Structures are given as structure tokens and as C-alpha cells.
Structure 1
Amino acid sequence: MTQALLIRGGTVVNADREQQADVLCVDGRIVAVGEGAAAQAPAGAQTLDASGQYVLPGGIDPHTHMQLPFMGTVTMDDFFTGTAAALAGGTTSIIDFVIPDPQEPILDAYRKWRGWAEKSAADYSFHVAITWWSEQVRADMGTLVHDEGVNSFKHFMAYKNAIMCDDETLVNSFKRALELGAMPTVHAENGELVYLLQQEVAKMGITGPEGHPLSRPPMVEAEAANRAIAIADVLGVPIYVVHVSCMESADAIARARARGQRVYGEVLAGHLLVDESVYRDPDFATAAAYVMSPPFRPKVHQEALWRGLQSGQLHTTATDHCTFCAAQKAMGQENFAKIPNGTGGVEERMAAIWDGGVNTGRLTPSEFVAITSANAAKLFNIYPR
């Protein structure tokens, strides 16, 4: 039976303009906007009066981790609960991550994640992480692009002794992505420096969550961002930097773009709105709940990130939704480096960015649509659906 919904009289907001228009949806798809939409509505269509309201595209969160095995445990949200939360907050599509273990065939990992995602309540796709390199990985990247529609590959520059990419892997994978027309993405933190600083902070007797940002200062992120951008520049491949959290990384992206390089930056809603003071909360559970990487920064970095979004030097907003409960976080009760990294946010992102962006005058409604939906769609081959 056909399900039809006619939204009448609202202000339709796209990334390029606003217009008062009717919108007709049939079987979950938008089939008409503007004049003629009402005339095309089938008999029995549900009508919703949106007069005086904005009608926005569904959000796309380009960075989530549902059902992720990580740091000795598995995230609390699976693909059903996580995407149900996304839908409740206005996000209708997520891009999650397939993260193979080192030496695990990437096609095997992809099939495993696809199986987990069958229960998803929302649309989804995947970035596939490259955690090791061989000629088989090279061939499998081609299979993923040509047969499965994958168009982006993730590279962790942190997490030493686990999934961290060395420069050889970065170079080989970036070069292969260029050949395939895919987008390399990077988690930009210098894993060697993080590993060293974690030990140095512990030697100072700092073992609680307040040690987390001390072990991952802004320059640790900036070094990796600059290095990844430089490698991409030499190879001539575009690059997407995930969860840009500090002004130094934002500046690196802006400088590269000023030279004409194709560099794109993602900002997490949390990094726009939460500052590092949360790590000093005297309650361990509260402070540990905010442990994620890169960590939350001093407020001065938040303003730099907002400016990057306003100027178009940063392009998307995401959440890095990766939820662990208090008992899981307590695995690092005696050592902050063992606290599972991750926070939530997939349900709250749209409302939080509207409140912090549009309601404060930092963003127009069209700019909001660009950074929460349209730009991600264009970068990751979803546009113009």
C-alpha cells in the first residue's frame, strides 16, 4: 500500500536557498517540491500543515561507531538503537566505519559489519578503515569500490600497537584511493606522541580523566593533520580530516585550501559546545563519560571551529557517536589511558548545532543545512538523493 505525506505551506530550506513550498513524499521518498506537489498527491495522502515552520532535509551524520569492538569492550548502541536515536533527533542517514583488525582481510570485516547493520532503522553506509597494508588490501579496496559502492577509506594516525597506520600504509592507501576515485579520511593525532605523553603524564601521578587532554594536546593533532595534508598534496589526492578539534588543525586546512588543495574538514558537535573543564569534574563517572579522542578543548578552540564553519574552510558536522556505559568507562578507573574512548550525540546533534549556530546568529538556516546534511552528501556520493 502506498504511503504518501504532503507537507503544506512550510519554508523549505536547502543549502543554497529558502522558499515557501509544498513537499510530497511517497513511500519514504521526496517526489515533488513546490508548485504541483499538492496536485500530484495520491488519494488518501496524509496532509501536514507546516505553515510558519521550517522544512529541512534529514541530517547526515558522517561519523558514527555503532556496535564497535574497541579497547576490550563493545559500544552500547548497536545499529538499531543507535539509528533509532538518530532518527529521533532528525538524522536520517549515518556513515559508520568498518574497522578491520590488523591482518584481518578487509572484505571479511566489511561483510561482518554489513551483517551487524541489517537491523538499522535509518539509511547507512560505510567508510572502510585501512589498518594494515598488502597487495591483497590493495586489490580488496578495488572490490569494495567497484562492487560494494564504498567511496571513502579511513586511516587512524593514533592508537599505537592497535590500529595505527604508519606512513608507508598512508602513502600506499592514499595512492590507491586516488586510482579508485575514493576519498581518504584521517583521524589526525600523532600516535607516537600520544603513547609517550600518556606515560609521562602517568609518571607525574595523574591517573584520572584529567590526564586525558594532557596526553593529547592540540599540537599532537596539528602535527598529524599537517603530515596527512602534505602526503595528500604530494600524491594529488583529496583528503577529509575527521573531528577537527583545535585551531591549529583548522588553520592547517585553511592554509592548504588557500593553496588550492582539496582538503575538507569535519567538526563534531561536542567540540563546538563542550570544553575541557569537564575532565576536572571530581566525580570519576562524570569526567570519564567525556573521554574521547581528540579530547574536548579550551573554549578558544570552539570559536575557531565556528569561524571555520562560517567561512567554509570546515565543511561538515558529525558526532563520532561511540557510546560506553559507566561500567565500561570504569575499566580505566586506575589509568585514564584505559578508559574506553567515546561519547554519544547522534540524537542531539541537529538540535545542538541549531541552538549553538542558528539561534546565536552564527549560522543561517541554509548554512545549517549545508554543514549537517548537504556537504556530507556531496562529499560521500549521496547527493542529490
Structure 2
Amino acid sequence: MSGRKLIKNGIIVTASDQYEADILIEGEHISAIGDNLSAPGAEVIDAKGCYVFPGAIDPHTHLDMPFGGTVTKDDFESGTIAAAFGGTTSIIDFCLTEKGKPLHDAIQTWHNKSKDKSVIDYSFHLMIGEMNENVLKELPEVIEKEGITSFKVFMAYKNVFQADDATLFHTLKVAKEQGALVMVHAENGDVIDYLTKEALKKGNTEPIYHALTRPPEAEGEATGRAAQLTKLANSQLYVVHVSCAEAVEKIAEARGKGVDIWGETCPQYLMLDQSYLEKPDFEGAKYVWSPPLREKWNQGVLWNALKSGQLQTLGSDQCSFDFNGQKSLGKGDFTKIPNGGPMIEDRVSILFSEGVNKGRITINQFVDIVSTRVAKLFGMFPKKGTIAVGADADIVLFDPNKERVISASTHHMAVDYNAFEGMKITGEPVSVLVRGNFVIRDKQFVGKAGHGEYIKRKKYGVTKELKRNESISI
């Protein structure tokens, strides 16, 4: 048991409220919220000068993931330690499947990767690469017993992960029946494959051609196609890592027509742009991920979409590879550069510093984007995603005035570079509790590998009821 703790003098911020109050934690849960709470024998935590946020939830991570002949640098231990330093108390990682093999084999592989390693709570999304009788037989058990209620379909990475439209449509139909949320990586993989082959034929091998062969039109087209298929199936869709105006427009258009569609963006698309891939001496490889970085003007579109509710969440798409030894596999051929970057640690602070501090979003929107909306969409609310009596005591004490410079020399990820190197931000987590236990205390790691518990999530249908009673911005 984590004992009794009393948080005093902080300003509690949720997706809807901001107020001063004490929080009493008993065991792993919040047992009371109020003024001048008395709790004899409780450990008193002074949150003076801090905001008290619900623990952030990262809906999009790739830890210990094989890709392009190598494996991501951060596993479930180093990755979740870095996440905790950044104020994240739960993650949902992507479980990759193989065609022709049982879904449960893949799920067990991911349980093995995470067992006794994660310092924060975690869950899995499940990749669907094919839809056949065997998959259909397994899915009910995946949902009911494993509590995996979100399925990922890739529309890109031809001959690797890419599924065809029939598989996507069938997945949408099954998800509607079973109460699951379908996620898509929305890029037109066939067009990208064509453009990539053309580039290599012409001897265009530098990192910048990763972006030039994955144009925003390919993302916009795939997003629109997925939205139409969702409408046709009368199902529900979550578009991951939205990077450009073309995709935002398709999501907003579909939402305006009543399609049950949601969109996620990532800090890299809010802060970095396509010019980073042109850095000399192969440094551009550090910024190779998919979808690629876009022209800078897209950043304003993404920020406005977060503010207006056209996009609702911020994932990290954490997928870290060392510059030396991993990204360098693609010297002379951009298609061999492992796709991904290290984002898990700075996601929350960047959104606060660049979003709240600069007036792009409100502080309540910030909490909704990094925590509450994710919990609602992915079947974790109200246990996760808010500060309320009965909820898990996943709590972040956040100093809004602390200034720092992001750097690989001070980050806690295992990777050898930071995509946001040199960026000055204001606001950072001071202490982080997961189910009533300190994982970070006064900016020091005090957690332990294996403390994190696997989260079995509720069906998407619960969220549908919440949605009907909410005012949703279109």
C-alpha cells in the first residue's frame, strides 16, 4: 500500500475546472477533495506554487519495437522513466502482429516486453493487418479478456504493415459491433511506394527525400478515404499523428457531417518543420519519421485545430533510434533510415509552454488534450484522466514558472539525441505519483521497474454515451 498522503496548497486543474483545494490519497486512490482537509498520520505534500494536474496519458508509443532491421532504443523501462519525468503516468503502446499468426502470440510478446519493466501504468493497442476467420474468432476474447479495445490499421508501409481498404472496412465494421475504436496511420502507401522508387531511380537518396516522397496530399487523401469508409461502416475512427492542413481539413469536414472521427497530433509537428531534414552531414536523418515534418505554415493550422476541437489529443509517437548506429543505417538510401524520434519526455511540457503560456489553448484544454480526452476515448475514464474522488491517484505537481532548455545531455531517454535540442520552455513537472506512489519526487526518480500495472480498458461504447451529453466543437 502507498499509505495516506495529503496534497495541500496547490491549484487543481482538470479539463473543466481550476480551484484551490486539498487532495487526500488513501492507498492508490483519491479519497477526498476539499478545503482544509484533516488526515492525522498522513504524509503532507506541499504543492505551493504548483498546478496539480491529473497524470498525463500518452496514447501513442512504440517501446522495444522492431523496425527496419533494428529495435527502438528505449524499452519499457527507460521509456516509461522518461515518460514519468515528463508528467506522463500511463501509456498505450502499439502491439504489432504478423499475418498468419495468432493475435494472442503478439499480445503475449508485448506482455513479455513490458513485464517487470514499466514504472508507470500501460496498455496496448492491437495492430490489425488482415481480417479473416481466425482473426474474427480471436477478437472478442482480445476485447473482453485483455481489455484491448482499440485496433490500429496501417494505410502505409507497403509490403510491411500496410493493409488494404477491404481490411480497413471490415475492421471498422467489426469494431462497431464489438465496441472498439479503430486507429489509422493515414498515408497513401501505394503512392508513396511509387514516388520512393522514382526518387531512388534518380539517385535522390538524402533524408529530405523522405519528406518529398510522402507529400501532404498522400496524407490528406488517405485521411479522407478512411473517414468515408468510417461513415459507410457507421463506425468510429481515430486518426493518429496528423501532420498537415490537408488531413485536418478532411477530419473537420467529416466531423461536420456527423462522422464519429477523432484526430491526434504530436509535438514534433507543432514545433519542427520540413527544413530540419535538410540539415547537413546526414543530421537530417534525426528528423525522419512518418508522416514527415511539413512546411512550417502547417503548424498554425494544427494549433488552431487543437484550440477549436478539430483535433483532440497529443500523442508522442515515441519511437527512438540512436543517430549513431541506427539512423546511420540509411546513409546513402533514405528508405533505410529507421522511422521515428524521441518525444515521450517533452510532450507535456512543450504543449504547456507553447500552448498555454502563449495563449494558443487554455489550461483546461491542455489537461483535456494530454489526459482527459485520451482516457475517455480509450476506455480509461474516470479511473484515469481526471482528479476526482475514487479515481486513481495519478497526479502531477507542475511548476508553471520553471524555465529550462531541452537537451540530450539532460533527458532521461536512452537515445543519443533530442529532436528539440536547445529549445527553451517554461513549465515542468516537479513530482509525479502513479496510483498514490511517487515515481518522480522533486525531479528525482524514486520509482521502480515493475510498479506499472497493465490497464484493461472499457469498450468504446461507454465513450459514446459521454459524447452524446457533451458539447463537441466541430
TM range (shorter): over 0.9
Q: What are the residue-to-residue correspondences of 1:179-190 with 2, within 5 Å?
A: 179-190=177-188
Aligned to 1:376: 374
Aligned to 2:449: none
Aligned to 2:285: 288
Give the whole-Å Cα distance in 2 for the aligned partners of 1:31 and 1:154. 36
Q: Secondary structure at the match of 1:76?
A: coil
Q: What is the Cα deviation at residue 243 of structure 1? A: 0.4
Q: What are the residue-to-residue correspondences of 1:42-191 with 2, within 5 Å?
A: 42-43=40-41, 45-118=42-115, 119-191=117-189
Aligned to 2:459: none
Give the whole-Å Cα distance in 2 for the aligned partners of 1:190 and 1:277. 23
Aligned equivalent of 1:258, options 241, 256, 276: 256
CA deviations over 1:119-156 (Å, ceiling 9, x no partner) = 11110001100012211111111110011111100000
Q: What is the Cα deviation at residue 210 of structure 1? A: 1.0
Structure 2 residue 7 is matched with structure 1 residue 10 = no
Structure 2 residue 289 is matched with structure 1 residue 304 = no
Give the whole-Å Cα distance in 2 for the aligned partners of 1:281 and 1:5. 49
Letter in 1 for 2:12: V
Aligned to 2:336: 338
Give the whole-Å Cα distance in 2 for the aligned partners of 1:30 and 1:277. 46
Q: Is the 8 A contact 2:2 2:28 kept in 1?
A: no
Identity of aligned residues (%): 45
Q: Is the 8 A contact 1:354 1:368 kept in 2?
A: yes
Q: Is the 8 A contact 1:221 1:294 kept in 2?
A: yes
Q: Secondary structure at the match of 1:56?
A: strand
Higher relative contact order, chain-length normalized (CA < 8 Å, sep 6+): 2
Give the whole-Å Cα distance in 2 for the aligned partners of 1:122 and 1:22. 24
Aligned to 1:26: 26
Aligned to 2:429: none
Q: Secondary structure at the match of 1:244?
A: coil
Q: What is the Cα deviation at residue 102 of structure 1? A: 2.1
Q: What is the Cα deviation at residue 34 of structure 1? A: 2.0
Gaps of 5+ in 1: none
Aligned to 1:319: 316
Give the whole-Å Cα distance in 2 for the aligned partners of 1:130 and 1:317. 23
Q: What is the Cα deviation at residue 191 of structure 1? A: 0.5
Give the whole-Å Cα distance in 1 for the aligned partners of 2:294 and 2:284. 14
Q: Is the 8 A contact 1:102 1:162 kept in 2?
A: no
Q: Is the 8 A contact 1:102 1:163 kept in 2?
A: no
Structure 2 residue 360 is matched with structure 1 residue 362 = yes
Give the whole-Å Cα distance in 2 for the aligned partners of 1:337 and 1:66. 21
Say if 1:60 and 1:2 are closer, same or farther in 2 by CA, change over 3 A: closer
Q: Is the 8 A contact 1:62 1:318 kept in 2?
A: yes
Quick check: which one's helix share is greater? Answer: 1
Letter in 2 for 1:304: V
CA deviations over 1:279-299 (Å, ceiling 9, x no partner) = 000021x21111000011111
Q: What is the Cα deviation at residue 4 of structure 1? A: 2.5
Q: Is the 8 A contact 1:138 1:173 kept in 2?
A: no
Say if 1:42 and 1:83 are closer, same or farther in 2 by CA, change over 3 A: farther
Q: What is the Cα deviation at residue 28 of structure 1? A: 3.7
Count how many residue pairs are aligned between Structure 1 and Structure 2: 381
Gaps of 5+ in 2: 384-474
TM-score, length basis structure 2: 0.79
Q: Secondary structure at the match of 1:263?
A: strand
Structure 2 residue 223 is matched with structure 1 residue 225 = yes
Letter in 2 for 1:195: D
Q: What is the Cα deviation at residue 205 of structure 1? A: 2.3
Superposed CA RMSD in Å reads 1.2
Q: What is the Cα deviation at residue 269 of structure 1? A: 1.0
Letter in 2 for 1:12: I
Range with bigger deviation, 99-108 or 26-35: 26-35
Aligned equivalent of 1:246, options 241, 244, 247: 244
Q: What is the Cα deviation at residue 42 of structure 1? A: 4.8
Q: What is the Cα deviation at residue 5 of structure 1? A: 2.2
Give the whole-Å Cα distance in 1 for the aligned partners of 2:161 and 2:89. 29
Give the whole-Å Cα distance in 2 for the aligned partners of 1:281 and 1:15. 39
Q: What is the Cα deviation at residue 2 of structure 1? A: 4.4
